[in-house]
Amino acid sequence: MTTITLQDVEQLVLDVRHELVEWRRYFHANPELSFQERHTSQFVYDTLASLPNLELSRPTATSVMARLKGTGPGLVLALRADMDALPIHEENTFPFASQQDGVMHACGHDGHTAMLLATAKILSQMTAQFSGEVRFLFQHAEELFPGGAKEMVEAGVLDGVHRVLGIHLWAPLQVGKIGIRTGALLAAPDRFVIRIVGAGGHAAQPHLTVDSIAVAAQVVTNLQHVVARTVDPLDAMVLSITQIHGGTADNIIPGSVELRGTVRTFTSELRAQAPLTMERVIRGVTEAHGATYEFSYENGYRAVVNDEATTERLRKILTEGFGAEVVEEGVPTMGGEDFSAYQDKVPGTFFFVGAGNEAKGIVYPHHHPRFTVDEAALPIGVKSFVLAVLGFLNECE
């Protein structure tokens, strides 16, 4: 096995930088929604097919897996990128802005896909530098529950895999920085629907009705106390009402109102307790006002919880490759990610690569119609993946 230096890796990343940016811009201009990534996945497949030493497959209709074997037996490391876009109309005016009305890469998945393609191109030409196997997972449908990760795991993409890594380009983190954290990084994003049922009637005779709007308002107000007064202040939980639907005219008190929203938690204990506490509050308020209710609660993705051994090894690899001034402690977020489906199967680490740049006006949050990333982050992501492969697959376990 030949030796490769850090300078060699940096030159390889530099050599692919033009294609890296071109790929990202192509994906950005041609976004596809979750479970509809037909052209994106075909572009990925065709690009990978042009590279040496890769074994390609289609685990699902709109995903791609590539396998790359090193010089001999060893560990199997999986690298994941998501490919889907969001139902958002882009307000940016880049030459490569979305060409699909109402569909936009507003979360960085275009960059993720480009970075993993570039990583595959680099590594496909240097199999003499590592043993074991790398699996490149180009995943569909991260943005839409039940998510593509679950389907890919069920399709067997992690069979025989020892560890899995994923990168998210992260706008809240300044470009040039990497955020990595052991333990909980992203929350479990659950959702709920509440239907308040009263007795409708004429708005001029409210005493003859059970006003579902008034009762719903009390439910919203009282649910704010679930976090404020039933959760340990040292635990993290978010409960947000995000939709209210009810009423048809200004002189009619409606018979029912629907509320929808989300609950975000890190721990399984708090996650299990949340719907029980919510229903107790909803029941109490509706009974007090003579109304009834219907309540449904759906668990979304599990929390992303980084494996300690994998994370600390990766932290060491990245610190040696970038410097201690670059690698920071990752800040947890209440956002959700279906990368947790991989972590349910094998030890894994998900980490952030900074993509924000206030000086360039790259300040908009993820899922915003003017979201973008600083493309200087892309080579950092590629270098991170390449160093991780060399670091993990050239060690004994």
Q: Which of 116, 137, 133, 148 is nearest to 37 (CA)?
A: 148
Q: How many CA atoms lie within 13 A of 327 on its CB side?
A: 19
Buried/exposed 210-224: b ≥16 CB within 10 Å, e otherwise: bbbbbbbbbbbeebe
Cα–Cα distance for residue pair 389/374, rounded to 1 Å: 24
Structure tokens at 3: 């030796």
Cα–Cα distance for residue pair 307/304, rounded to 1 Å: 10
Cα–Cα distance for residue pair 290/281, rounded to 1 Å: 14
Cα–Cα distance for residue pair 372/107, rounded to 1 Å: 8
Distances in whole angstroms, Cα of residue 283 to Cα of each of 192, 194, 262, 272: 15, 11, 19, 18
Q: What are phi and psi of 283, to 5 degrees?
A: -60, -45
Q: What are phi and psi of 318, to 5 degrees?
A: -70, -35
Q: How many CA atoms lie within 13 A of 329 on its CB side?
A: 4
Q: Which of 198, 191, 201 is nearest to 217 (CA)?
A: 198
Question: Which residue numbers are catalytic?
Answer: 84, 142
User: Strands 292-298 and 201-202, how do they pair?
Assistant: unpaired
Cα–Cα distance for residue pair 339/148, rounded to 1 Å: 9
Q: Using an 8 Å Cβ cutoff, are 133 and 55 in contact?
A: no
